């Protein structure tokens, strides 16, 4: 069986990180997010994953290449966004029979083989993986009958309009002949157009409910949560590298004997952690980063090539590649610093503040 991963979106809610890296390529514990989808494909015996690209397509080819172990990777690029169903339609020439579609930003431990078996045994035209969430407003809400038959599909409803907390988990098994119903070369949506149309026409769409781990990595807060969940074992995937006391090393790193590093922490190649630094996981420190002490890093992600100066605190925040934080700074409460940005001494970046890539924040320019 083949699968399509939709990776063409711009990831606007994840800006500024997605200005430089498309969301499915953002590292999760120093592996690209899409790597986790490839792993699921591998486990389920899917032989080819087609990446439906739009935004920064060449980066996908560079990072992922044409094969990951047993899984062949191919690419179909769209010059103008075709939407989710349009993106899959664009892969039609490469699809020969029943196939799977993944949203490229979904992290899950769902049993794909069981999803496929359910699809086959019910004879559905489409089977949608469903997961239960507390607040369904940012997802596709999918009420089902007791038989599993999907009754309705309501994309991003208000709370009053949401008849259930079971939502579209962003994985579908689809019969190839359904592609004929998607118009060619124009934007078309699974969620807002195709699924409602199938239901209206009486086509059998089945929901597959699962309580497996599931997260849509759509916002900086969810991105940090993904790191937390992976490192605490909820995803049932080991962090990469060689483990020692909750620290996962991906190469050679220097950690001063006078630093305090409490795992889980993933530490990239060439990282330097100086004397009197305190790191409390879950934290991921990308390659070639340098942390001077005294300073503190807590529940944060540093993408790599970063520096953090003396007396600075980074907590619950994300530093894009090569972002530098000078001395005496507080970076906290889901602040996101874009690639190559330079934050001068004495700044306080808090409450979801985002610094665009390459921006230089002058000393003591931002305080609360």
Structure tokens, 168: 């579209």
Out of 27, 57, 87, 264, the only residue in the binding site for ligand GDD (CB under 6 A) is 87
Residue count, binding to Mg ion (CB under 5 A): 3
Least separation in angstroms between CB 130 and ligand GDD:
9
Assess 32 for contact with Mg ion (CB under 5 A): no
Assess 7 for contact with ligand GDD (CB under 6 A): yes
Pairing assessment for the beta strands 247-249 and 48-53 based on DSSP bridges = unpaired
Interface of this chain with ligand GDD, residues 63 to 82, rule: CB under 6 A: 78, 81-82
Q: Which is nearer to ligand GDD, 215 or 329 (CB)?
A: 215
Question: Of ligand GDD, Mg ion, none, which one does residue 144 interact with (CB within 5 to 8 Å by kind)?
Answer: none
Least separation in angstroms between CB 298 and ligand GDD:
28
d(CA 86, CA 244): 46
Assess 193 for contact with ligand GDD (CB under 6 A): no
Burial classification of residue 80, based on how many CB atoms lie within 10 Å of its CB (0-12 exposed, 13-18 middle, 19 or more buried): exposed
The answer to whether 2 and 94 have CB atoms below 8 angstroms apart is: yes
Cα-atom radius of gyration of the chain, to the nearest Å?
Answer: 22
Assess 324 for contact with Mg ion (CB under 5 A): no
Question: Of ligand GDD, Mg ion, none, which one does residue 220 interact with (CB within 5 to 8 Å by kind)?
Answer: none
d(CA 185, CA 47): 27
CA angle 47, 53, 56 (to 5 degrees): 130
x/- binding map, residues 19-48, to ligand GDD, per CB under 6 A?
-----x------------------------
Assess 218 for contact with Mg ion (CB under 5 A): yes
Least Cα distance to 3 among 78, 83, 81, 68 occurs for 68
Least Cα distance to 48 among 2, 104, 90 occurs for 2
Out of 19, 36, 60, 139, the only residue in the binding site for ligand GDD (CB under 6 A) is 139
Out of 48, 193, 216, 292, the only residue in the binding site for ligand GDD (CB under 6 A) is 216
d(CA 265, CA 281): 5
Least separation in angstroms between CB 131 and ligand GDD:
8
Residue 124, strand partner residues: none
Mark the segment that binds Mg ion (CB under 5 A) among 102-110, 116-124, 156-164, 267-275: 102-110
Helix (H) or strand (E) holding 9: none
Out of 207, 218, 286, 320, the only residue in the binding site for ligand GDD (CB under 6 A) is 218
Structure tokens, 213: 């781990």
The dihedral of CA 225, 227, 231, 235: what is its sign?
Answer: positive
366 to 43, 48, 116, 331: CA distances (angstroms):
48, 49, 52, 11
Out of 3, 29, 106, 323, the only residue in the binding site for ligand GDD (CB under 6 A) is 106
Q: Which of 42, 72, 156, 209 is catalytic?
A: 156
The answer to whether 46 and 68 have CB atoms below 8 angstroms apart is: no
Least separation in angstroms between CB 216 and Mg ion:
4
Assess 105 for contact with Mg ion (CB under 5 A): yes
- 3-class DSSP state for residue 118? helix
| 156 among known catalytic residues | yes
Pairing assessment for the beta strands 247-249 and 242-244 based on DSSP bridges = antiparallel
Assess 216 for contact with Mg ion (CB under 5 A): yes
Least separation in angstroms between CB 32 and ligand GDD:
13
Place of tokens 């290449």: 65
Q: Which is nearer to Mg ion, 24 or 218 (CB)?
A: 218
The site for ligand GDD (CB under 6 A) is made up of 6-9, 24, 52, 54, 78, 81-84, 87, 103-106, 139-140, 155, 167-168, 170, 191, 216, 218
The site for Mg ion (CB under 5 A) is made up of 105, 216, 218
Residue numbers annotated as active site: 156
């Amino acid at each position: 069986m083949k699968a399509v991963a939709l990776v063409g979106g711009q990831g606007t809610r994840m800006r500024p990180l997605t200005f430089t890296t498309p969301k499915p390529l953002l590292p999760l514990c120093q592996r690209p997010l899409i790597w986790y989808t490839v792993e699921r494909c591998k486990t389920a015996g899917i032989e080819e994953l087609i990446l439906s690209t739009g935004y920064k397509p060449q980066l996908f080819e560079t990072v992922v290449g044409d094969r990951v172990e047993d899984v062949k990777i191919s690419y179909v690029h769209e010059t103008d966004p075709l939407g989710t169903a349009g993106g899959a339609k664009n892969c039609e020439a490469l699809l020969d029979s029943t196939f799977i579609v993944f949203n490229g930003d979904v992290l899950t431990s769902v049993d794909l083989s069981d999803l496929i078996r359910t699809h086959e045994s019910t004879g559905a035209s489409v089977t949608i993986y469903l997961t239960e969430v507390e607040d369904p407003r940012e997802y596709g809400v999918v009420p089902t009958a007791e038989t599993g038959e999907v009754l309705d599909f309501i994309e991003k409803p208000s709370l009053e309009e949401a008849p259930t907390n079971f939502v579209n988990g962003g994985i579908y098994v689809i019969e190839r002949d359904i592609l004929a119903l998607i118009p060619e070369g124009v934007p078309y949506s699974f969620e807002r157009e195709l699924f409602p149309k199938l239901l209206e026409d009486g086509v059998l769409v089945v929901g597959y409910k699962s309580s497996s781990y599931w997260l849509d990595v759509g916002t900086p807060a969810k991105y940090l949560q993904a790191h937390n969940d992976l490192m605490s074992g909820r995803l049932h995937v080991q962090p990469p590298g060689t483990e020692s006391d909750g620290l996962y090393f991906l190469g050679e790193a220097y950690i001063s004997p006078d630093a305090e590093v409490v795992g889980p922490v993933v530490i990239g190649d060439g990282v330097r952690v100086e004397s009197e630094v305190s790191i409390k996981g879950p934290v991921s420190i990308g390659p070639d980063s340098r942390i001077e002490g005294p300073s503190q890093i807590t529940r944060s992600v540093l993408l790599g090539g970063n520096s953090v100066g003396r007396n600075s605190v980074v907590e619950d925040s994300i530093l894009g590649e090569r972002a530098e934080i000078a001395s005496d700074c507080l970076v906290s409460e889901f602040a996101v610093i874009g690639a190559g940005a330079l934050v001068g001494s004495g700044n306080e970046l808090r409450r979801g503040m985002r610094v665009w890539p390459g921006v230089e924040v002058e000393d003591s320019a931002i305080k609360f």
